Chain A
């Protein structure tokens, strides 16, 4: 893992955590976008670094919140969506959704950053 990747990863998480206090869910898109704008990534890392960053953050956050309550609601939402009532699957889906949003925004940030840097 390159240094640039690690920096981007950490910055994405930091921005996500801070913005999540003030902004709705799309704060992860802002985080992915801003981090990629300033910390240049290459190839598939453009998508995957913010993806993994937010995937981890959302996944862990969801796990910690829900496990403290024995996954009471998560089990029910996993029936609703439907994921066979499995809260862990719901956590994976949650991470994936957040990661996807951040990753896509990261690609856009990288493209815009390239234009500016040119």
Chain B
């Protein structure tokens, strides 16, 4: 009996230990997790931001002042110490995020969350994300000083990681039950790949190929014209391009492979985009140029941005950093300010590869066979066996689609040619911008920047404003890369790149302002081939109209514009609908909703009903208009909004307006009514379940934690208006991830805010303390310290001291 009791109690003890020490599905190891001396309770506090900290390899002490927003102002004696401190301080507040984003870039999510991440990981590997990062690492040694700085940053991050133990690691590690690994220079390269994928990793070549084959050239061109009927390019139309004196690439006489492609890999969210603009001194109420930037990215917690001031005796700069990268990305110093928007261009093409045989060791190229190489991708999976996915590489890039992945032909595949695979030192551009003193320094800083291509807006205290569209762009023949290309035809390769000096730019234009909002970069007169690759068609017109509307602009005007909710898209379609839709069959309930939208002023403000009705109505209308393009068998794509509305209003009887499934031949006018009636039903249901469908409630903008918007660590139902295609581009999950306005006085005066908080710790009051002000359009003054003397605005000071 005694033995039985002993054995039983022993087994029971082991069982309880195992149960409380093991992660089951999404439930963390609960004993470890809730232990007050080592679990999550230890994260329920603010960071220590005072005292001295010893870290290795500093040449002199580094002072870090924190202001009330928890913005660190770092004062170091030289660059090596500065970037080491930046690494240390960034990790201190954002370690989990930095590591998670680079794991995501490398396709290592399964390692953390198990087989649910496998498809994602395989896609990232097949995109060549790790390959691209390694190409960058190969390129870096050409700039030994730069390498030393990236290594200093790495060492700073690692000094912080080494100071942690199992009890003090960020709460997400405890939740997912893993520990941080050492930071590497490759991780910085991966972070830049993460941005490149987000901003320059999209294309529709394969969908376009299916569309072209299925619907023929005429109808394809009707749906996807190279030039839309509206043109308000980033570089003013009147620009003289005659200085471009090189020959354009000749279009070869060859056939395109018109394959049927069943499905394609996930694309970046189309709501990624941005605004930036600057007015000259002459157009500014104070006589100083003013510059603004608001990148529209995923609204996440922790936010993709972290604000810092970085200072040495040689330079002093402030603005938004990307945790994982060095320097300030969007910001200002005493001489210049700059900011970015994404410069969409087709820098990703697909090529059909024909292998010689099943071994796939050779593929056809011109009249010969070329050898392939193999990159073995080892994907670790939490709680399961490691998966090996071998990816074949050609001279073009990885064969993403083959019989192992989303395709079934053993003897062919589709290879990806992508700017992200061309090694480059893009980190250097930002470090040079941080130190730039004038227009020439800015232009020099940009010269070698390749990807993701950006519209770099610029303003200086000297009074210059400018905008360069900078990236490495292939000099394409007319039509090249719009559709699937032939990998065996040397003429289909990228033949050369547009020389950097011919990249489109404008300095001190006559109109007194520069602006960009992801629209077409140039008009038809620019000699290089640029087709419409999803350019934005609404925000840019609202912005440019605003700057053409009066003579002088103030910082308050800039605030108003960043928060402008005018829905130009709705304003261009709704009046036509009101005119042409037959309302005689509306029920009284439907009529009520119809009257609500009729009285709407086209502003997507939070308390209004109009935007909710519009958003549902347009989504349904778009959906039934392009019913032709719903297919199980092949990947298709529907036209962009501008062309959709253009066709509805100018060609309402076009055959595409017909709903294929029905006997009747519908016109656009019929679709308006059909979509409206469905919308009314939906809204009535919604109201019964959720209450009034005002725009705030109906849109439900949120700032979601990076772990699939884990509700506990996210913020929901934010009181922000706007939407996609609106200057205040806050959709449900994307929007102005950083709003900055800088007046180029001496010293500059700057405002900045983002939807998040400086701390990445959900247990800190600084985790989401900017969110409320951001949502209602308030700004925080950025305290740009001119020297390291602490002022009354400083709440704490920490000193980093060399550890002997």
Contact = CB atoms under 8 A, between A and B. Distances in A.
B12 A61 contact: no
B763 A69 contact: yes
A33 to B, nearest CB: 8
Given A25-B38, A72-B763, A80-B710, A65 B44 contact: yes
Contacts of B713: 76, 80
B397 interface: no
B44 A24 contact: no
Contact of A105 (B13, B41, B46, B171): B13
A53 interface: no
Interface stretch (B15-23, B261-269, B785-793): B15-23
A110 B31 CA distance: 22
B46 A69 contact: yes
A81 to B, nearest CB: 8
Contact of B40 (A26, A77, A101): A77
Interface string B18-54: 0011000000001110111111111111100000000
Contacts of A61: 36-37, 41
B765 to A, nearest CB: 6
Interface string B695-733: 000000000000000111100000000000000000000
B546 interface: no
A104 B9 CA distance: 7
Contacts of A112: 6
A24 to B, nearest CB: 6
A10 interface: no
B24 to A, nearest CB: 13
B35 A73 contact: no
Interface string A75-93: 0110110000000001001
A30 B159 CA distance: 33
B803 interface: no
Contacts of A58: 34-36
A108 B762 contact: no
A40 interface: no
A25 B35 CA distance: 6
Given A24-B166, A115-B6, A74 B34 contact: no
B38 A72 contact: no
A37 interface: no
Contacts of A77: 40, 712
Given A24-B32, A97-B30, A69 B9 contact: no
Given A65-B44, A66-B44, A112-B6, A101 B36 contact: no
A62 B764 contact: no
B5 interface: yes
Contacts of A26: 17, 20-21, 31
A20 interface: yes
Given A79-B712, A101-B20, A115-B2, A25 B39 contact: yes
Task: Identify whether the interface residues of B are mostly helix, strand, loop, or mixed.
Answer: helix
Range class of the A interface residue count: 35 or more
B10 interface: yes
B285 to A, nearest CB: 42
Contacts of B31: 25-26, 97-98, 101
Contacts of A70: 765
A72 B765 contact: yes
Interface in A40-72: 58, 61-62, 65-66, 68-72
Contact of B20 (A21, A74, A97): A97
Given A68-B45, A72-B765, A76-B712, A24 B38 contact: yes
A72 B36 contact: no
A80 B712 contact: yes
Nearest to A114: B2
A107 interface: yes
Contacts of B9: 104, 107-108, 110-111
A70 B763 CA distance: 10
Contacts of A34: none
Nearest to B6: A111
B12 A20 contact: no
Contacts of A20: 35, 37-38
Interface string B749-775: 000000000000111110100000000
Contacts of B20: 25-26, 97, 100-101
Contact of A65 (B10, B45, B712, B761): B45
A72 B44 contact: yes
Contacts of A101: 16-17, 20, 31
Interface in A10-37: 20-21, 24-26, 28-29, 33
B17 A76 contact: no
A25 B764 contact: no
**Most A-side CB within 10 Å, residue of B30, B41, B175:** B41
**Most B-side CB within 10 Å, residue of A73, A105, A110:** A73
Interface in B317-376: none
Given A26-B21, A104-B13, A73 B32 contact: no
A29 to B, nearest CB: 6
Contacts of A25: 20-21, 31-32, 34-35, 37-39
19 contacts: A26-B17, A26-B21, A28-B35, A29-B13, A66-B44, A69-B765, A71-B44, A72-B763, A73-B41, A76-B712, A90-B34, A97-B31, A98-B31, A101-B16, A104-B13, A108-B13, A110-B9, A111-B10, A118-B2
Given A76-B713, A77-B40, 6 more contacts: A24-B38, A28-B35, A29-B16, A61-B36, A97-B20, A97-B34
In the A-B complex, list the 5 residue pairs whose CB atoms are closest, starting with the nearest.
A73-B763, A25-B35, A80-B712, A61-B36, A73-B44
Interface of A: 20-21, 24-26, 28-29, 33, 58, 61-62, 65-66, 68-74, 76-77, 79-80, 90, 93-94, 97-98, 100-101, 104-105, 107-108, 110-112, 114-115, 118
